[in-house]
Amino acid sequence: MNPIDIATIRKKLGNSADIVFKEFNIQYDNRVQTVNLIYAEGFVDTNAVQDFVLETLMVDLPKLDTDKHPFLDFMTVGDVQELQSTDMMYHDLFSGHVILIREGTEILSIAMSGIKDRAVSEAMTETVSRGPKEAFTENIQTNTALIRRKIKNPNLWLENLRIGKMTQTNVSIMYINGIVTDKIVDEVRSRLARIDIDGILESGYIEELIQDAPYSPFPTVYNSERPDVIAAELLEGKIAILVDGTPHVLVVPALFISFMHSAEDYYQRADISSLIRILRFVGIFIALLGPSLYIAITTFHQEMLPTQLLIGLAAQREGIPFPAFIEALIMEITFEILREAGVRMPRTMGQAMSIVGTLVIGQSAVAAGIVSAAMVIVVSITAISSFVVPAMNMSISIRMIRFLLMGLAASFGLYGIILGIIVLVLHLCSLRTFGVPYMSPFGPYIAQDTKDTLIRLPHWAMRKRLRLINQNNLTRSKDKAPGPERR
């Protein structure tokens, strides 16, 4: 190896002030040698460097019999690696390693990470009333540990990759060997390997790059920030993709139905969670079709309403200057603006907005004769219903499609809505996620896999894994529940 010139390294790093260079002499191999220590400020634990590296080199080394062992052996730190070239050095340097260069020939990379990470805290987006509360953090090592803590099995395999020409982001693929289908793992690997991009700052980048249907409004990659959800998905034979720097872990293949499931469904008793799921599907139905059905019925099919209600509605709509569609559009867009503002706004402003939202938009709009009270009810129910979808990205898709259906309802009534739904279902059926049909187990219908879809059967009844995802290892358990022994 060519002698390493510290000045060149310094120049390559642009003399950046946060990179610390230290040069000192040690007694090794019966002579005085020069050692260069390089680390990035804020990345390493300086106390640890002092205690384990400097102390070893300056205090302990002269006392030891140094000629028999390689330099590497004297490091009193666990994770030490000898690097072959300076190129590999930079990634380590910015991952919290201390780089030690002896005599310009030997490069050691010592893990001394002291980055201040956010502590493991409660999940913000996917909240449950029963079940573990912890969520992933921004640190990929913490995240893998959180998953491993749930699945203590040597078959839980992890593969590391670096993606992003500039950012060199750590990305890991995690799966359970023996459950996962190798074909799908290969597909994930090859798609990740083909990524050519400058930077990966969040798992959303990867999701967008590897998803099956880039032009579909529906997500074909699942994500979660809960370790228990990821562990459950891994146990179903899916593959997790962890990205350093984000608490959102991706899961593929993602079936349509899994976006409708919440972690809590599996922690509550089966009957409760089944009923909650049915409720959720009712909510999704309202979120998707509420305003469009209202528009279609009030505009085209008044005969479908009971007379009393019809008279009431007509009386309300008497002073309204807009057709139902425009009215609905005004209210829906107002709501979307309120929602978006609520997300972006500083927390302290929340109260001000709820006053504006309820009083101004709700009450005054009706009083001013811009929208009818019935429309406010419809839009509010729809808005609330759209939040029963546990997955945020699916909830947004449903909201987007709602606007299309509203347009169809306004122009073609129920006929338009039905044709819209047929197109929607056709589109959903045409999607695939990493080779698995998106709508399975409904289209194609697989009876055995429907046990955990619209309802959830008890754990003792779900003794088989999903057939299309786990092609070779289907049996989850063989025996029924160990209830009281029957005599």
Partner 1 sequence: MLEKGKISHRQLTVLSLLYTIGTSILIVPSIMSVFSRQDGWIACLVGVVADITIIFIYSALSSRYPKLSFVEYSEKILGKWLGKAVSLFFMSFIFLLSAFLLRVVGNFMTTHIMPNTPIEVTIILFILVVIYAVRLGLETTARAGEIFLPFVIVLFLFLTVFLLPQIKIDRIEPFLEEGFKPVILGAFYYFNLQEQVILLMLVPYSNRPDKARNALLVGTSIGSLIIIVTVLLSTLVLGTEFTQRNMYASYTLAKQISVGNFLQRVEAMLAILWLITIFFKTAVCMYALSLGTAQTLQLKDYRTLTLPFGLLLVFLSLIVYDNIVSFISFTPKVFSLYATIFMVIIPVLLLSIDTLRASLKKEQSS
Binding residues (CB under 8 A) for partner 1: these are 300-301, 303-306, 412-416, 418-419, 422-423, 425-427, 429-430, 437, 439, 442-445
For residue 192, the minimal CB distance to partner 1 (Å) is 27
* DSSP secondary structure, 423-441, as one string: HHHHHHHH-EETTEETTTT
* DSSP secondary structure, 31-99, as one string: EEEEEEEEEETTTB-HHHIIIIIIHIIIIIGGGS--SSS-GGGG--SS-EEEESSSHHHHHHHTTTEEE
Nearer to partner 1, 205 or 300 (CB): 300
Nearer to partner 1, 21 or 281 (CB): 281
- Per DSSP, the three-state class of 196 is coil
d(CA 364, CA 376): 11
User: Whose structure tokens read 């080779």?
Assistant: 435
Nearer to partner 1, 104 or 443 (CB): 443
CA diameter of the chain = 104
- Per DSSP, the three-state class of 410 is helix
Q: At what angle do helices 392-430 and 270-299 cross, to 10 degrees?
A: 80
For residue 328, the minimal CB distance to partner 1 (Å) is 19
Compute the Cα dihedral for 297, 298, 301, 302 and give only its sign.
positive
User: Whose structure tokens read 């009957």?
Assistant: 271
For residue 427, the minimal CB distance to partner 1 (Å) is 8
d(CA 44, CA 196): 30
Nearer to partner 1, 304 or 333 (CB): 304
For residue 182, the minimal CB distance to partner 1 (Å) is 22
- Nearest C-alpha neighbor of 362 from the set 333, 403, 334, 402: 334
Residue 336 amino acid letter: E
Nearer to partner 1, 111 or 305 (CB): 305
For residue 315, the minimal CB distance to partner 1 (Å) is 20
Cα-based distances in Å from 74 to 61, 69, 83, 103: 8, 8, 16, 16
Distance of CA 353 to the CA centre of its chain: 29
For residue 439, the minimal CB distance to partner 1 (Å) is 6
For residue 293, the minimal CB distance to partner 1 (Å) is 10
Nearer to partner 1, 88 or 422 (CB): 422
> Is the Cβ–Cβ distance between 419 and 408 less than 8 Å?
yes
For residue 228, the minimal CB distance to partner 1 (Å) is 30
Cα-based distances in Å from 48 to 37, 60, 141: 14, 16, 19
Residue 138 falls in which region: left (phi positive, over 0), alpha (psi -120 to 50) or beta = alpha
Nearer to partner 1, 251 or 439 (CB): 439
> Is the Cβ–Cβ distance between 164 and 200 less than 8 Å?
yes
For residue 253, the minimal CB distance to partner 1 (Å) is 16
For residue 217, the minimal CB distance to partner 1 (Å) is 15
Nearer to partner 1, 199 or 435 (CB): 435
Nearer to partner 1, 325 or 442 (CB): 442
Nearer to partner 1, 245 or 443 (CB): 443
Residues facing 239 on adjacent strands: 252
For residue 135, the minimal CB distance to partner 1 (Å) is 34
Two tokens, residue 158: 């992890």
d(CA 51, CA 171): 32
Nearer to partner 1, 212 or 244 (CB): 212
Nearer to partner 1, 46 or 216 (CB): 216
Residues facing 436 on adjacent strands: 433
For residue 436, the minimal CB distance to partner 1 (Å) is 12
From the number of C-beta atoms within 10 Å of its C-beta (0-12, 13-18, 19+), residue 281 rates as middle
For residue 449, the minimal CB distance to partner 1 (Å) is 13
117: CB partners within 8 A, 6+ apart: 137, 138, 139, 142
Nearer to partner 1, 314 or 425 (CB): 425
